[in-house]
Every structure is written in structure tokens, then in C-alpha cells.
Structure 1
Amino acid sequence: MFDSLKRFIKKWRASRDSGHQLDALLAIANKSAPYADRSEWLIELAHWIRRGRAVQPSDTDDAQADSRSMPAHTRIRYLLHVLDRNPAWKANVAGILRALLRESDGLSLLCDAGMPVHSGFFGALFERLDASLIPPAPNRRDLTAIVTLMFSSERDAEWIGALPTDLLIRIRALLDYEPDEDEQRDSTPFSLDLLAALHNLTCQISSTGLSQTVRSRLGGADTDDTSDASDVRVAMEKQPFYRLTRAMLAVEAEHQAVAAGAPQDKLLHEVNYLRLLLDECRRATDKVFAHLYRNGVSVDIVFQVERMRMRIVRAEHLLNAWMAQDDPHAGARLTAELVNANHASQSVAHLMRSNFSLLARKVVEYSADTGEHYIARDRAEYLKMLRMAAGGGLVTVVTVCVKFAITGAHLQAMAEGLLAGFNYAASFLLMHFLHFSLATKQPAMTAPTLARELDGTGTPAGVDSFVSSVTALMRTQAAAVLGNVLLVFPVCLGVQLLWHALFNADIISPDKAHATLKSFSLLGPTPFYAALTGVLLWSSSLIAGWADNWFVLHRVADALAYNRRLRMTLGVAGAARLAKACRSNVAGVVGNITLGLMLGLVPAILTAFAFSFEVRHVTLSAGSIGIALGLLGEHALELPELWWAVAGVGSMAILNVAVSFALAFYMAVKSRDLRRNAVRSLRGAIWQRVLRHPLELVWPAKAAREGQ
């Protein structure tokens, strides 16, 4: 048959008539051929079905029915039409299908298709790249391999799940067409394969659910020092994972009793109980995720729990198909789900999306509490933000002066970048502990707070609350920029004038002042540099969220509070206060230090190894312009380079905020796995609010808090 198949492929490529291609393919079908040849024949048949151009049957009724069908449906209808007219071909095709189902391992497809194997990203990536370079061989007696080779497009699940009833009935009739005595004697009903796969999945679900990783994060088993061990033991026995395996064994026992002639009432009762336990297991996984998001997210733990949840969903699908064996659509839905899951398990793009979503969820959750403090929702909070921003602008004055002193020393680029990083980090830490605010830093920290509100956007009230929070964030950012700039610019100007009056010297030289103004020009690379600075602002919030998550996950606060030496030195109350202070400030300290070092070192590294890059931050740049203007005097107001620099600072304010917020919001959306149409509807709601109430972007309404 292999030589015949090779000759057929040559004729296939030479022929443009789909009908002739199918006739040639059906003519070489042989149910007695070796396993590999039958697999290759079925793969070629699947490729013929999946081809885009439809084939119109000669029968008028079929043609009218296919006018509303997908091309794959049309081709299957034409295939069945041809087989009905050629009984010999039909017997061989039916025998090939039955033989492959009988001789192939179906448990791997039913249980494992689409289930992740590696918890690490790179392990899963290399596995999928290896699978894409080396596809499975058709001689593997594994249904997963055959399905992978037959259905290589993500659209295949769509047309399989949409197969009409008449086609499903005819396909089932084809599978039952003229089986010989050997096939009837050796065949195993597909229902038993479904039952075996269901047994396998319930055992795996039970094993994971009873592990310490999951058990310790369930409500009844989340123990502390005051928990009673007997209460924990009873709580474990009441968990659905503990009862799941017994329920599955009861279903199998009742199925055997029904096969022996017993009534089905008790079987239905056991099946319903099994469904109930699976539903309770699903709710238990939600509790585990809630515990993780409250107490720190671990990638390995989330991987195990997520895989368990996928197995619960698969078990429900198998149970539905097993109980609805007379419904042809149940089998089609199960097949479509298996094809879709198998394709997802082979897709590198799907791996990237799922892992990025997991990383986003891990980082976002713990930035949310910090970011809430940076959203001014009423007038009192708005005025407070102005005061905090003014304090931040005052600290930035010192930062700008020290920066010019560092650049004036003309050190080596990397040493200069390191000193500048220390300068920025010290300034940011001082702002943090004095509860001051730096413009453009809030969006990266507050977008995770908005991510928490995305959970409620399924209702009109939730959408309105989300839009109100976005509006409040824009308004708060405007206050932060305004407070920073209105203080840093005049104070830097006054510092330069005072320095000249006291010491008859200038902080920078006239040439440096002109170079500073030109470097901030809107006509230069300033917008590009400002956008890259926004990326650094977002990256700092990413690291801050990771640090906070790590601190909570490893329960560092508890370790500090109960540390023996700390208790002896500071006392019990002092150790508890230290632990609380570390918990409250870990994200801010790590985020500010990393932001400062990145602002100092990243430009030096990129300039040395890639392309020229300079930090363009609106507050620092406004202060630099103030010092330059104080040195150049009133005649600088007539210089075009000054006004181009002012325009450049305006672009910095927009791009610093827009880029950092866009990246953080994108991560927040990914952490919630929102669909694109949902994101588009949220954008539309935001624009509608801005167009209806534009003044809310600069000044909060009186009832802002009540309306939110």
C-alpha cells in the first residue's frame, strides 16, 4: 500500500479536480494494510477535508444544504455521498477507522491532550519547539499523534464542533458499516475508553488535591498555631478530593451492574454525586487561587493547581460525553475540545500568552495595595496629592543639582551612571519615607489597582466604577505633574540665582546650559527617550510587585516577628513593629532603588553597547531648564531653543505617563485574561466619560467619592 500511496500523492499534486483526488484516495484504501499505512491514508484524507475550496455534490438537496455549510462540511458530505455509491470503498474506509480506534492508545488523547507537563517556561518552550521540528511519526499507536497530524490548524476545532446533525448520524453509521466477526469479537466499546479515562483523571485530581501544596491552602486546612490537629484531619476528610475516587469507583460498579441487567436509577444517582464532587473540586481550586493571591503567588504551585483545574474540566466533558452516548453532538463537542486542547499544547504562541498571563497575575496582585494610595478620588485627596507632589518637586531640586555636579566631574560613563543611579535612588527613597510623590511614577503603580477592579467589569456598575477609577488616576497624575513642575522649576531657578549671588559662580557653564536646552528639544530624540523612560518606570513597578509577592509568599514578616534575636533585642512588640514596617515598605524600597539605578545605569549601558540614550523625565528636565534659565537670564526668553525645550518637557509628561501606564494596564488586562472586545468596550466607556465630563480630568467633582 505504501507504493500505492506514493503514486497517489504524485497524482494528487498533478490533479486540480478535488473529486478526482478523492476517488484516487478512496481507491487505495485497504483496511488490511499495516498500521502505519492506514494512519498515513487517514492523514491524507483529513488534509483533503481541510482544504479550503468546497466540492459541490451532484445531488440537488445536498447542494442546497451545503450552501449554508463550512467548506469542510461540504467535503465530508461529498465524501459520504461517494462512499454510499461505492460499497467496497465504504467497507474499507469503515474498517480503517474502526481498526485505528481499536489499535491506538486513546487514553493519552482523552486524558493528557492539552495538559501542561513542565512547570518551567523554558522546559515547555523547548518541548514545543522540538515537537514542531520533529512531528510525531504515523506508526506510533497513539491517537494523540494521529490527531496532531490530521488537525494542524486551530480552526479545525471550530468546524468539528459545528458539524450538523445529519452528518454526525451518517458518520456514526459509517463507523458501524459491515464489521466482520473478528472486529466484533475484539472491539472494545468507546464508552469503556471514556470510563477508563475518567477513572484516570479522577485519580490524578484526587492526588493533587490531597497534596500538602493544595491541602494547606484550602479553607478548612489553612492552619496556624491555634489550629487543632483533629479539626484539620476532619476538614481534610470532608474535602471533595478525598471522596472523589470512591465516587468514581461507585460509578464503575453501578455501570457493571447495569450491564448485567440492573436498573439505571442508582447509576444516575452515583453519576450526579460525581458531578457534584467535581463541581466542589472546581470551587476548591478557586479557594486555592484566592489564598495564593492573598498570601503570595508561586509559579510552581499555580501550575499544579491550574493543571488540576484543567483536569476537572476535562473530566466533566468526558462524563457528559459518556452519559450522552446517544447524542451525536456530544461526541462532536468532545472531539472539538480535544483537538483544540491538543493544538494549544503544541502552540508556542499559546505558551507565551498563558505564561505572560501567569506572570502578570503574580506581579499585579501585590502592587494593587500600594497603588491605591496614589489615586485621589475626591477633592481632599486631590489637594493632598498636590502637597505630596510639591514635596517631591522640592526633593528633586537637590537631585538636579547633584546630577549636574556628577556630570561636571567628567567621569567615565559607567562610573557616572552608577553615581547618578545612587543619586536618583537616594532621592526616591527620601520621597518614599517622607510620603512625597514623583510625577509619572503613579501610573505604573496604580494600573495594578485598576486590574483588581477589572474583576467587576462584567456588570454596568462594575464598568462605571472602573471608568471612575481611570478618570481619578488621570486626574491624580495631572496633579502630580503640576505639583512637581510648579515647585521644581522656580526653586531650581532661585537656587541658581542664589548660588551666583552668594559665590559669584554658576552651577553649570553657559555652554552646558545651551546644550541642556537643545537636548530637551521636541525636534530631537526627546520623544523617543521619554517613551523609553516610561518603559523604565513600568519596569520598576514590575520589580516592586515581584519583591512584594516574594516577601509575602515566603512569610518573611512572620520570620522577622518571631526571630529569637530580634525579640531579645527589640522585644516582642518591637520585632512585630519591624516586621510590619518591612511589609509596608518592601515594594516601595525595592521599586525606588531599582528605578534609580536603572535611570542611571541603563543609559550608560545602552549607549555603550546599542544606541545613544538619555533619561528624559518631566520633573528632572523641568528642574534642569530652571537652572539653565537662571544662568542665561532674561534674554533666554527670546531663544527658540528654550521654547522647543519647554515643548519637549510637555511631550515628556505625556509619554512618561502614557507608556508606563499602557504597559502596566496591558499587564493588568493579561492578568485577568480579558478578551479583546471587552477591552475595546472599556476603552469606549473611558472615552465617553472623558468627552461628557472633561473637567473631571483636572478637578474632582464634589460627589466624586459617593459616585464611585
Structure 2
Amino acid sequence: MFDTLKRLIKKWRASRDGGHQLDALLAIADRTAPYPERSEWLIELAHWIRRGRAVQTGALEPDASRSAPAHTRIRYLLHVLDRNPAWKANVAGILRALLRESDGLSLLCDAGMPVHSGFFGALFGRFEASLIPPAPNRRDLTAIVTLMFSSERDAGWIATLPADLLIRIHALFDYAAQDEPPRDNPPFSLDLLAALHNLTCQISSTGLSQTVRSRLVVDPADRDMDDRHDTSDMRVAMEKQPFYRLTRAMLAVEAAHNAFMAGEPQDRLLREVNYLRLLLDDCRSATDNVFAHLYHNGVSVDIVFQVERMRMRIVRAEHLLNAWMAHDDPHAGARLTAELVEANHASQSIAHLMRSNFSLLARKVVEYSADTGEHYIARDRAEYLKMMRMAAGGGLVTVVTVCVKFAITGAHLQAMLEGLLAGINYAASFLLMHFLHFSLATKQPAMTAPTLARELDGVSTPAGVDSFVSSVTALMRTQAAAVLGNVLLVFPVCLAVQLLWRWLFHADIISTEKALATLRSFSLLGPTPFYAALTGVLLWSSSLLAGWADNWFVLHRVADALAYNRRLRLTLGAASADRFAHWCRANVAGVVGNISLGLMLGLVPAIVTALAFSFEVRHVTLSAGSVGVALGVLGERALKLPELWWAVAGVGSMAILNVAVSFALAFYMAVKSRDLRRSAVRSLRGAIWQRLRRHPLELVWPQRAARKAN
């Protein structure tokens, strides 16, 4: 029998006419066939319905041009079944048997819901499911729905099914039911009730777990109140939580339903259902409070995953409750089916899991950069001049960095050791700039992009758009000032240091051959632009690590652990220990970001060169200082060398690519953390270009406050 079915399906697939395909498929429908054969038949019927080209139905559907192809095919299917009672009886029997013999709770409760307790377990599970699809002989509706509706577009046409089709589909399930022997099977409405009971228990269990409860007992906005609440206060607060009362409310709904089925009025059932709706809404609000707590107190991937799964269950419970109470409305069942199909498809998508769980984490990681980046945007002339002074100080520190770098490379050490020493040199210089409040131009874009993304929250209003455009203009102006401040100081000072070194010691910092090789290595005609772009990636990566360190420090409450550490208090005193904790909190991200950037600039080129391809760091400030030293070694004759001017052009490309690449990556991540659409971001470009056409000088020098207000 199974081989015969296979041959008939193969013959049906070979047919090109939609009507002939359907006739061949309906002819082999058999409600007495084994479960795997009936499941495979339903899957083939769903594939026929989902095909994009509509069949010719003639007068059956006058407005077929405006109907979805799937709707037209379903209408034609019902018409063919009405003309063939035997086929209709078999199809109806297969549909009833599907609901009777399959586990419906798996679809109602678990479709679209991660079954693993952690993010990485869910990630592995989805990857495994993408390689091994479910078998049609599995007796659960989730497997059948997965195989029948494999496209995310299926939810759209299911949700928009016309009312007349829904009524006819519902009638199809009851056709010729009296011809079958009576079975003791509960109606589908009781499956909905059982699924509601299952979901409310899971929601309550997660909400009362330590992970969530510890973020609900105390107001999330008050991060310093935990130690002022005693056990009795926490007990009362927990009993007031909606998660604590949710299971009891669900039991009351079931009791009211049983009483209604026994003949009591419906008033009690409606009252208990409304109370359950209220508790589910309170649970949703409490979940938002948990996310707010995570946002202020550090984010963990697994915690975000568990809370997001709980919120998905709350939404599913609300949908099931709506469908259960509106069982007489045919559109309610269609909406629930569409939601289940969409959720089931999302549960198979690795990209959906990444987007839904990393948005809040990305928001927290970039938040440190947003707070820090505000200090790197000069919005008026006083801040502009301050940025110039900070950049000049950064260029002065870079002079020492360049000289030490030439000393390290002149020792001709092994590549990895040379990279480690260079990384330590860079890290020490960056830390010195950090504590002296100096500025390195190419580090700013990764910090300032999240600041702009924060302002994207208000672009729905004209004032918000104007504020965003003003910030973009100020950012461009500040970046230009910072790059010029670094380069205009590091280049002449490095040149002067080389000349002073020659005058004092009658020798050069580097040899003539090394000076020529340095100029050639920075040439615009070589791989300099590519290296500069990769250096921009390293600059962005350091800001990412800084944000991660800040999140980790807050999440694990390291500042509190330091402030109340017994040894620190005995050694430094309580006040000094508290000041030390606050100092660590204020500087942990900056220290981690600067150390990681320095080590990456030194070690990553050595590692990449050893394992993949040749790679060298092309940092605009460091390279400008190197050009200054090389010019001092070569003297006036270097002005006639084309290598010098190609190197100058290469340094210019470094300034653009270091800034552009690191800014683009940071801004992309920051926008993703706000869940903004691409169209909303693109709509701001016109406003930016309009501002630049009206006030082009703002890119060079800040305008007066009165001018900015216009």
C-alpha cells in the first residue's frame, strides 16, 4: 500500500495541470491508511495549496485577481470535494484523525518556544533541526505543521482567509462524522484549556525562579535599595507578584468552566477569565521591569533568553485564551493557526534567535560607549577648542610611542615577541592618554556612534530629527578636529625629535634604508587602504570589549564586592574602599578598551601574518609620526621623492578609513540595539545633506549659539 501511494504521488507531481494534480491527489486519499501515509498525503495537499500560481476556477471566484493564490486553490479544492462525496468523506476523515491521533499540546504550547534552558542549547538545537527535519510518522502536530507550512509567508494567507472559506473548512471537519464509530476523544476546546494550564504553570515557574524573582522584589529603578529590605518585606512583595497568583487563577478558570458545562450561568466563567487576562497583562509588565533591571544592572545572554521565553509564553497564553473564548468566531481559529505557523517557523530560524536575544545585550554593550562618546562630540566653540587640546595631548604622547616602536622593530626580534612588545607599548600609551584625559582621534568613532544611536530614539518628531542632524554635523567636525590635532602635532614633533637626536648623538633613530622602506610601506598605491580598513575593525573591536567589560562589571556587582571587601576595608578604611570601588567602576571599561586595543594592534598583525596573509597596522596618528621621523632622516631630498607624497596620500586614506570603518561598525551595532528599520535610518540622510548644503562651514568651525538655533 505504501509503495502504491509513493508511485501515485510521483505521478501526481509529474502533472503540470493544477486541476489534474488535485484530482489525482484526492483520488488516493484514504482515511483508513496508516498514520505515516495519511500524514504524507496531507503534506502533499498543503504543498499543492501553497503553490504561487492559482488554478482556473471560472465562475467560482469572480474576484480571483484580488485573492491570494492559496485562497483560490482552497476554494477550488472545496468545490471539487462537494462534487465528489466519497473523496470528501476520506479527506474529512483524515483531518479528524489528524487532530485525534496527534499530540496537539506540542503545537499549542511548544511551537515557537525554545525547549532548552539556555541560549547556547537552543542555538545548537535549531542548528540540529535545520539539518534533520521531522519525520511524518511523528504523532504530534508540530511535526506535521513544520512539514506542511515551511515558508514564513504561509502565516499571511492563513490569517487573511475569507469568512466563507473558514465556514466551509469548519464544516468539512464534521462531514460524514456519523459514519465513523464513536470515540471517546475530548473536543479541541479542551486541548486549548489544557494548553493554557500548561503555559500558566511554566510562566509562574519562571517568574518565581531566583533569576527573575531577584529582579522583581525591589523596584528595578532603585539599584541601591536591596540591602534595606528585610525578609518580611520580600515575602509580602513576592505574594503580590502576578506570577504567584497566576496558577490559582488558571485553576479558578477551569473550575468555572466545569460549572458552566454543568449548567451554571456564564457570569462566573467570564469573571474568572477577565481576572486571568489581567494577571497575564501584569506578568507582561513585570517582564518589562525585568528587562529594565537588566538594562541598568548588566545583561546576561542566558537571563535574557529565559525572560524572553517567558514573555513569548505570556503572549501565547493570551492568544490561546482569545481563541478559546471566541470559539464561535471562524476568524479566531485562523488567527491562532497563523500565529502558530509563524511562531513555529521562527523557532527553526537561527537568525531569529540571534536577533531576539542579542538586541538587549547589544544595547547594554554600546551603552558605555554612548556615555563615553558624549564627551567626544564638540557642540560649541568651547568644546571644539577643548577637543583640539585633547587631541594635541594625544599626539604628543604618540611621539614617544613612535620612537619606542622603532626601537622595538630595530631589535629584529621574533615576530610574535615583537608583536607582544609593540602591543605593550601601544597599550601603555593609550592608558596614559586615558588617565591624562587626552584624545586619540581614531578611537572616538566607535564611542560616538552609539551616542548618535541613542538620539535615534527621538527621530519620530521634527525636534528629534533636528537634534540628530546637529549631532551628526558636530561629530564630523569633531572627528576632523581630532585627526588634525593628532597629526599636526605628532608629525612636526617627531621630525623635531629626529633632528634633535641627530644633533645630540650624531646618529639617526632609524637608518636611511628603513626610512625609505617606511615611506614605501605607507604608499597609497599599495595595500595601505586595505590595512587601514582592517585597523578600523580592530578599533571597533576594542570598543566592543570595553562595553562588554562594563556590562560584566555591573552584572556581577564587582563594585559592591570591592566596597564591602573585608581586607580592603581593614587596609584602606571604609571610605577609601568605597572610593576605590567607584574608581574601578568609572575606569574598568576604559582600561580594558585601551589595553585590548594596544595588544590587538601589536599581536593581531603577527598572528594574521603567520596564519593567513600579510597584515600590518595602519593607524593614522602612528603612521604620521613615522613619516615625520623618516623625513627627518632623509632630509630635504625627500621632498623630491614620489615615495614621500604617496605616503602622505596613504596617511590621508588611513584617516578616512580608520574613522569610517570603526564608525560604521559601531553605528550598525548601535542601530541594531534600537531595533530600528533601515528605512527609518535612510530617511535621515536627506535631512543631513540639507543641513550641510545650508551651512557647509559647520563642518569646519562651530557656529554661534544663535545661528545654531535657526
What's the TM-score, normalizing by structure 1? Answer: 0.96
State the AA in 2 paired with 1:663.
Answer: L
Cα distance in structure 1, aligned partners of 2:684 and 2:318: 33
In structure 1, what is the equivalent of residue 149 of structure 2? 151
**Deviations 1:633-665 (CA, angstroms, capped at 9, x unpaired):** 233222222221111111111111111111111
Matching residue of 1:256: 258
Displacement of 1:388 in angstroms is 0.7
Distance of 2:549 and 2:144 partners within structure 1: 45
Q: Does 1:702 pair with 2:700? A: no
Q: What amino acid is aligned across from residue 293 of structure 1 in structure 2?
A: Y
Alignment partner, residue 548 of structure 1: 550
Q: Does 1:280 align with 2:285?
A: no
Q: CA deviation at 1:440?
A: 1.0
**Distance in 2, Cα, partners of 1:329 & 1:700:** 60
User: What is the CA-CA distance between 1:98 and the residue it aligns to?
Assistant: 1.1
Aligned equivalents of 2:689 and 2:284: distance in 1?
38
Q: 2:81 aligns with which of 80, 83, 100?
A: 83
1:597, CA displacement in angstroms?
A: 0.5
For 1:285-684, what aligned pairs fall within 5 Å after superposition?
285-357=287-359, 359-684=361-686
State the distance in 2 between where 1:212 and 1:192 align. Answer: 33
Q: What's the offset of the Cα at 1:4?
A: 3.3
Shift of 1:686: 3.6
Match of 2:66 in 1: 68
8 Å Cα contact 1:560/1:575 also seen in 2: yes
Whole-Å separation in 1 of the counterparts to 2:708 and 2:694: 19
1:4–1:28: 8 Å Cα contact kept in structure 2? no
Range with greater deviation from structure 2 (320-329 or 258-267): 258-267
2:51 — aligned with what?
51
Change (3 A) 1:702 1:119: farther
Q: Secondary structure at the match of 2:228?
A: coil
* C-alpha spacing 1:470/1:270, structure 2 compared with 1 (3 Å): farther
Summarize the alignment of residues 173-184 of structure 1 with structure 2, pairs less than 5 Å apart: 173-180=171-178, 182=180
Deviation at 1:459, TM superposition (A): 3.8
1:213 is aligned with what amino acid? T
**Counterpart check, 1:18 vs 2:12:** no
1:37 to 2:67 alignment: no
The structural deviation recorded for 1:145 is 0.6
Measure, in 1, the Cα distance between the counterparts of 2:119 and 2:210: 24
Change (3 A) 1:462 1:191: farther
What's the secondary structure of 1:67's corresponding residue?
Answer: helix
Which one-letter code corresponds to 1:367 in the other structure?
S
- Between 1:23-32 and 1:682-691, the stretch displaced more is 682-691
Choose 121-130 or 492-501, whichever is displaced more: 121-130
Query: Aligned partners of 1:579 and 1:380: how far apart in 2?
Result: 32
Q: Does structure 2 retain, via aligned residues, the 8 Å contact 1:367–1:548?
A: no
The count of residues paired between Structure 1 and Structure 2 equals 706
Return the offset for 1:258. Answer: 2.3
Q: Residues 22 and 385 of structure 1: is their aligned pair in 2 closer, same or farther, counting only changes over 3 Å?
A: same
Listed one character per residue, the Cα deviations across residues 353-402 of structure 1 (whole Å, up to 9, x for unaligned) are 34543542342233332222222222222221111111000000110111
Note the C-alpha offset of 1:181.
6.1
Question: In the TM superposition, what are the counterparts of 1:87-126 in structure 2 within 5 Å?
Answer: 87-118=85-116, 120-126=118-124
After TM superposition, the structure 1 stretch with the greater mean CA deviation from structure 2, 360-369 or 413-422, is 360-369
Structure 2 unaligned residues grouped into runs of 5+: none
Q: Residues 117 and 398 from structure 1, CA distance in 2 versus in 1: closer, same or farther, beyond 3 angstroms? A: same
What is residue 164 of structure 1 aligned with on the other side? 162
State the one-letter code of the partner of 1:91: A
Report the 3-state secondary structure (helix = DSSP H, G, I; strand = E; otherwise coil) of the residue aligned with 1:522. coil
Distance 2:272 2:706 in 1: 55
Q: For each residue in 1:446-488, what CA deviation from the matched residue of structure 2 results, as whole angstroms up to 9, or x when unmatched?
A: 2233333333344443343333333332222222112111111
CA contact (8 A) 1:221 1:232 kept: no
> Given that residues 95 and 179 in structure 1 are in contact (C-alpha distance below 8 angstroms), is that contact kept between their aligned partners in structure 2?
yes
The structure-2 alpha-carbon separation of the partners of 1:304 and 1:528, relative to structure 1 and needing over 3 Å to count, comes to same
Of 112-121 and 171-180, more deviation after overlay is shown by 112-121
**Separation (CA, whole Å) in 1 of partners of 2:174 and 2:436:** 79
* Paired residues of 1:298 and 1:362 also in contact (CA < 8 A): no
Q: CA deviation at 1:566?
A: 0.8
**Segment of structure 1 superposing worse, 434-443 or 505-514:** 505-514
Give distance in 1, aligned partners of 2:682 and 2:114. Answer: 31
After the TM superposition, which segments of 4 or more aligned residues of structure 1 sit over 4 Å from their partners? 119-122, 181-185, 704-708
Provide Cα deviations, 1:136-187, integer angstroms capped at 9, x if missing partner.
1211110001001111112211221222222222211212222126566534
Name whichever of 234-243 and 415-424 sits farther off.
Answer: 234-243
Residue 316 to residue 462, structure 1, CA distance change in 2 (3 Å): farther
What amino acid does structure 2 have at the position aligned with 1:315?
A
Q: In the aligned structure 2, how far is the partner of 1:694 from the partner of 1:518?
A: 36
Deviation at 1:19, TM superposition (A): 1.0
Question: In the TM superposition, what is the alpha-carbon distance from 1:211 to its structure 2 partner?
Answer: 1.4
Where does structure 1 lack aligned partners over 5 or more consecutive residues?
A: none
CA distance in 1: counterparts of 2:330 and 2:609, whole angstroms = 64
User: 1:289, 1:461 → 2: CA distance?
Assistant: 28
SS of residue paired to 1:614: coil
Residues in 2 aligned to 1:317 and 1:705: alpha-carbon distance in whole angstroms: 54
Give the CA deviation at 1:595: 0.4
Of 195, 198, 201, 1:197 maps to 195
The 2-side partners of 1:262 and 1:459 are apart by 54
**After superposition, what is the alpha-carbon deviation per residue over 1:585-620, rounded to whole angstroms, capped at 9, x for unaligned?**
000101100100100011111111111111011111
3-state SS in 2 of match to 1:186: coil
Displacement of 1:38 in angstroms is 1.2
Residues 598, 707 of structure 1: alpha-carbon distance in 2 compared, 3 angstrom cutoff: farther
CA spacing shift, 1:249–1:691, aligned 2, 3 Å = farther
Could you tell me which amino acid in structure 2 is paired with residue 613 of structure 1? F
Q: Is the 8 A contact 1:499 1:505 kept in 2?
A: yes
Match runs of 1:220-259 below 5 Å: 220=218, 224-259=226-261
Q: Name which of structure 1's ranges 42-51 and 363-372 shifts more when overlaid on structure 2.
A: 363-372
Q: Distance in 2 between matches of 1:558 and 1:77?
A: 67
Aligned-residue offset at 1:246 = 1.9
Give the TM-score of the pair, scaled to structure 2: 0.95
* Structure 1 position 123, deviation (Å): 2.9
Distance 1:687 1:337, change over 3 A: farther
* Letter paired with 1:677: S
**263-272 or 451-460, larger mean C-alpha shift:** 451-460
Identity of aligned residues (%): 86
The worse-fitting range, judged by mean Cα deviation, of 213-222 and 417-426 is 213-222
Structure 1 residues 270 and 377: alpha-carbon distance in aligned structure 2, compared to 1, 3 A threshold: farther
2:303 & 2:123 partners in 1: Cα distance? 19
Per the TM alignment, residue 502 of structure 1 is displaced from its structure 2 partner at its CA by: 1.8
Alpha-carbon distance between aligned partners in 2 of 1:375 and 1:299, rounded to the nearest angstrom: 31
Counterpart contact for 1:221–1:235, Cα < 8 Å: no
Q: Deviations over 1:20-44 (max 9, x none)?
A: 1110110111112222221111111
